Amino acid sequence: MLTALVVDDEADARRRVAGLLRLGGWQVSEAVSAEDAMRQSVTADFDLVVTDVSMPGENGPAMLRRMRRNGSRARFLVVTSDPTDSVRAASAAAGAMACLAKPVDAGILLDFLRSRTTGPAAQGSPTEVHDAEDLHGEDLDAELMDRLQEMYVNALPARLSAIASGTRSGDSTAVVSAAHTLAGTSGQLGHPEVASVCRAIAADARRGVMAHARVVQLQALALAGA
């Protein structure tokens, strides 16, 4: 199984990308800072590192350059809310294979990764860095999207169970994490109502409120659309 490390100090953005990769069959770890990512890269040989450009302490391209100096042979992918020429240039200089705009589109991310071999075996000559405008012009693979929808439906019972069990036990941290994960993939794969209820559940949980009625609503809504 291919492995990925997703680095972003914004929890929603990090979980969205991580969730999409997991739906695509990747084994994913998450890091909230450059230092956290560097610690994980020492003990794990990741096939892919996806990082935001702007992070506290050290920006994404600088972190990627440090990883490469430390011997990482992962493929690098940069995401940013502002894919300017300077950001793309910095990404290219760090060895990134692409610079994608946030929020990252599900089909574009996974179709792009699927079209390129990842991991140590793929290392060789530098890869041209593409920007988001180039990628949005590509046709999305219908077979890939069908597979993502199937995986989404198959994962729903476990996602819903995690939210429900966390709500029953009063574990707000677990509820926020599970609800954000489901919100991210639901929003990306065309289930906006499910995403909206998940975000509301997470917002309540952050205030210490266990929204049992919303969880029941979520279960009915999600399973009805599955």
Burial class (CB in 10 A: 0-12, 13-18, 19+), 82: exposed
Distance, in Å, from the CA atom of 33 to the CA atom of 31, rounded to the nearest integer, reads 6
What is the tens place of the pLDDT at every residue in 171-190?
A: 999 999 889 888 888 887 88
Mean pLDDT of the chain: 81
pLDDT, residue 116, reads 53
pLDDT, residue 114, reads 67
What is the tens place of the pLDDT at every residue in 127-137?
A: 344 333 443 33
Strand pairing class (27-31; 3-7): parallel
Structure-token match 């302490």, residue found: 57
Distance, in Å, from the CA atom of 86 to the CA atom of 67, rounded to the nearest integer, reads 21
Distance, in Å, from the CA atom of 173 to the CA atom of 166, rounded to the nearest integer, reads 8
Distance, in Å, from the CA atom of 14 to the CA atom of 9, rounded to the nearest integer, reads 7
Report residue 121 as tokens.
């075996």
CATH 3.40.50.2300 in the chain, residues?
3-136
Whether residue 121 has pLDDT greater than 50? no
The helix (run of H) or strand (run of E) holding residue 11 is helix 11-23
- Please tell me the CATH code under which domain 3-136 is placed: 3.40.50.2300
pLDDT, residue 223, reads 82
CA-wise closest residue to 132 among 116, 115, 110, 108: 108
- pTM, whole model, 2 decimals? 0.64
Beta bridge partners of 77: 50
Least confident of 60-64, 116-120, 165-169, 212-216: 116-120
What separation in angstroms does the CA of 102 have from each of 29, 51, 82, 97, 219?
19, 11, 8, 16, 29
pLDDT, residue 127, reads 38
CA-wise closest residue to 99 among 108, 107, 91: 91
Strand order from edge to edge, sheet including 3-7: 27-31, 3-7, 48-52, 75-80, 96-101
pLDDT, residue 193, reads 93
pLDDT, residue 152, reads 84
> How many Cα atoms within 13 Å fall on the side-chain side of residue 154?
10
Banded pLDDT at 112 (limits 50, 70, 90): low
pLDDT, residue 56, reads 77
Whether residue 95 has pLDDT greater than 80? yes
Among 1.10.1740, 1.20.120, 2.60.40, 1.10.287, what is the CATH number of 143-225?
Answer: 1.20.120
CA-wise closest residue to 4 among 76, 61, 80, 60: 76
pLDDT, residue 129, reads 40
Beta bridge partners of 98: 130
CA-wise closest residue to 188 among 49, 13, 54: 13
CATH 1.20.120 in the chain, residues?
143-225
Whether residue 40 has pLDDT greater than 90? yes
